Structure 1
Amino acid sequence: MLKTIKLLAIILALGLCIPERGVIPVKNATAKDWNSQSFWFSPWGKSGVHKGVDIFAKSGTPVMASTSGLVVYTGNIEMGGNVVAILGPKWRIYYYAHLDSIHTHSLSWTSRGELIGAVGSTGNAAGKPPHLHYSVLSLVPYPWRFS
């Protein structure tokens, strides 16, 4: 049991040490293509807050992995439409939603800048301007950041 705990602690520590070095996930996007203040903007969706950043682009614009990692999910969900979730450095999940198409598959390794999908308006973005909903979620709790 002690060996297992030590091994898990080492794996956790190694994951936290990997540098992130992210890139903007939408090809040719600039800071003008999204509002960085919109992350916790209200009202968005059923939860009352918008837990991500929307990067607007033409439908079909390539979406690249913002960082290297393991693709843990690809598929279609009600609110996100066509989505990709990647487990990356620092034990973070990188979530890409409203994709027109998906160009990767679950349990594959993806490198930073690799094509994973295309901008769209699927899920609850149907009928709205095409965009990528991009979120970064930590699997490691940071209690001192709670308010």
Structure 2
Amino acid sequence: MGRRRKILVKAAVCLSVIVALGFLPAERKVIPVMGASFEDWNNESFWYEPWGSSGVHKGIDIFGESATDVVSTVDGTVLFSGSIVKGGNVVLVLGPKWRLHYFAHMDTTLASPLELLSSGEKIGTLGSTGNAKGKPPHLHYSIVRLIPAPWEIDNSTQGYKKAFFINPNLYLRE
């Protein structure tokens, strides 16, 4: 089989998995920082304001020791793994129900684009990269809906964006 054909086959398999993920009913959720518990983040930090240039904090920050393992919260497909200005070293995972799971400020990232992950699989280590440089090691974790939920919109600052952002506190406790 030629190299080009192998790439096309891999892309077709990944696309099939991505499509299937949108329809899987069950989710196996885990806290993304190994050894962390619900006490390792502030429950009030989701949609907290003021929050730097973002205006409001659209996720939670889970604190821990530097180099602690960061794991995928869900079964999914890695869409991006790399470095961006604010997030530093990040991994973006497409999980069930067409939800994007965003992991930021990691010291290292181990996941590769189009890699298939299982819930609890290591994707990197805890750090303080991006706009978290100089702060205690933590993971910024956000969840974004691709299909909006307009009933979640409220009158808070940037409240219209709540149609897309899911509160990770509630999600992890479901």
Instruction: Please report the TM-score for the alignment, with normalisation by the length of structure 2.
Output: 0.75
Q: Which amino acid aligns with 1:88?
A: G
Flag structure 2 segments of 5+ consecutive residues without an equivalent.
1-17, 155-174
After TM superposition, the structure 1 stretch with the greater mean CA deviation from structure 2, 15-24 or 131-140, is 15-24
Distance 1:13 1:88, change over 3 A: closer
Distance 1:146 1:71, change over 3 A: same
In terms of fraction of residues, the more helix-rich structure is 2
Task: Find out whether 1:45 has 2:52 as its counterpart.
Answer: yes
Q: Which amino acid aligns with 1:145?
A: E
Q: Which amino acid aligns with 2:127?
A: G
Mapping 1:107-118, distance limit 5 Å = 107-118=114-125
1:86 to 75, 87, 93: 93
| 4+ long deviations beyond 3 Å | 11-14
* CA shift digits 1:41-85 (9 cap, x unpaired): 112121211011000011100000000100000010000000000
> Which secondary structure does the structure 2 equivalent of 1:36 belong to?
coil
Aligned sequence identity (%): 55
Deviation of 1:104 (Å)? 1.1
Distance 1:83 1:145, change over 3 A: same
Residues 63 and 115 of structure 1 are in contact (CA less than 8 Å); yes or no, is this contact kept in structure 2? yes
Partner of 1:31: 38
Residues 90 and 103 of structure 2 are in contact (CA less than 8 Å); yes or no, is this contact kept in structure 1? yes
- C-alpha distance in structure 1 between counterparts of 2:152 and 2:81, whole Å: 30
Mapping 1:60-99, distance limit 5 Å = 60-99=67-106
Flag structure 1 segments of 5+ consecutive residues without an equivalent.
1-10
* CA shift digits 1:66-113 (9 cap, x unpaired): 001000000100000000000001100000000000011111101000
Residues 20 and 90 of structure 1 are in contact (CA less than 8 Å); yes or no, is this contact kept in structure 2? no
- C-alpha distance in structure 2 between counterparts of 1:68 and 1:139, whole Å: 17
- C-alpha distance in structure 2 between counterparts of 1:100 and 1:12, whole Å: 31
Task: Find out whether 1:136 has 2:147 as its counterpart.
Answer: no
Kindly indicate whether structure 1 or structure 2 has the higher relative contact order, using CA contacts under 8 Å at least 6 residues apart: 1
